[in-house]
Copies of this chain bind each other. A is one copy, B any other.
Amino acid sequence: MSSMAAMPNPHVSADCAASDVVPDLSTVWLRVFVEVARHGSFTVAARTLGWTQSAVSRQVSSLEGALGGAPLFDRLPRGVRLTEAGRVLVPYAEAVAETLRGAGRELAALRAVAGGRLRFGAFATADAALVPHALAVFRTRHPHVAVHREEGFTPALLERLTAGHLDLAVVSTTSGDLPTAAYTLHHLLDESLYVAVPAGHPLAAGRGPVRLGLLADADWISGGRGPEGTLLDAALRQGFRPRIVHVVGEWTAKQGYVAAGLGVTLVPALAAASVRPDVALLPVLDEGGPARAVYAATARGRSLPPAAEAFVGVLRESAARIPRAARTMA
């Protein structure tokens, strides 16, 4: 309310700069009223707005009518002057204009990925290397985006996606059985598998790629009671049903079991970098197609927040940066 006391230069009025940022939510009467109040003249305000005087006159008149008939301006021979009612309205009008400008700014920031939020989830081994790297890049490029991260298994993540709690989920599938009807899948990478064996294991000497069938009789350590839906369904695809002797969810714990010689287990390539020295990793030959595919999933039919869109791109870059050796060995 102090900014409009005396403004000799109409060109610096705040809305001309905002008009390309804010696509004019200003609701006509608001702009007209503020402009007239600023200049104390219908004619000058009309010129400023690029309208005719009669249009301004009628706009003000209908605004006064909508406000119960109380005049907002006294019509004087030399222009107009705010009445008490008009004087009361000014700060509100300016507050509304400022709020709308703020909305425009924030929406523009949203489009430019300089604001808004990103809520995503990822499965554990994606968090070993892929996601941290992508996140670091993303935060550097878009520091003003509020990031919310969750960790979880693929089914749970997809459920959170459906419920609208996540914008994006980094998920994996060993069998390509993701419900593609409900989600859009952005392919990130296909990763090969490793078999983790104790350092002294006979196969560890060769260090070369192995057929999974060679381990058909081994004791297996798995994340689930059955092989279905876990990495071990790769074994099913190669024709044997592994004997699961220990169910261990946590990767660090799994390594401990393997190192102790209690069994062998499968390790996705994304987790291969973080293996303890007394465990040996042997590449598994892909005989039944890629062992595991990693996707960025988004809810189909729901528009992607700009930040999520950008994050998909960054994830793709990060996936491409993963060493060739860690990816599918075809």
Given A92-B99, A107-B88, A302-B74, answer yes or no on A25-B66 (Cβ-Cβ < 8 Å): yes
A residues whose Cβ falls under 8 Å from a Cβ of B: 23-25, 27, 29-30, 66-68, 70-71, 74-76, 81, 83-85, 88-89, 92-93, 95-96, 99-100, 102-103, 106-107, 110-111, 115-117, 164, 167, 301-303, 305-307
Please determine whether B81 and A164 come into contact, CB atoms closer than 8 angstroms. yes
Q: Which of B68, B89, B103, B306 contacts A84 (CB 8 A)?
A: B306
| Residues of B close to A29: CB separation below 8 A | 25, 27
A74-B301, A102-B92, A303-B74 in contact; A67/B110 too (CB < 8 A)?
no
Contact, CB under 8 Å: B23 / A71: no
Given known A74-B301, A303-B71, contact A100–B96 (CB-CB < 8 A): yes
A84-B116, A84-B306, A306-B84 as given contacts; A67 in contact with B99, CB under 8 Å:
no
B95-A107 in contact (CB<8A): no
Q: A74-B302, A84-B117, A88-B116 are in contact. Are A68 and B107 (CB under 8 A)?
A: yes
A302 to B67, CA, bound (A): 19
- Tell which of B92, B110, B302 touches A81, judged by Cβ atoms closer than 8 Å: B302
Looking at the complex, which one of B23, B96, B167, B307 makes contact with A99 (CB distance below 8 Å)? B96
Closest Cβ of chain B to A103, distance in Å, is 4
A232–chain B nearest beta-carbon distance, Å: 37
Residue of B nearest to A25 (CB): B66
What B residues does A110 contact at CB under 8 A? 70, 84-85, 88
Q: A250: shortest Cβ distance to chain B, in Å? A: 35
A60 → chain B closest CB, angstroms: 14
- In the complex, residue of chain B having the shortest beta-carbon distance to the beta carbon of A73: B303
Q: Are B76 and A103 in contact (CB under 8 A)?
A: no
Bound complex: CA A83 to CA B301 (Å): 11
B residues in contact with A67, CB < 8 Å:
23, 25, 107
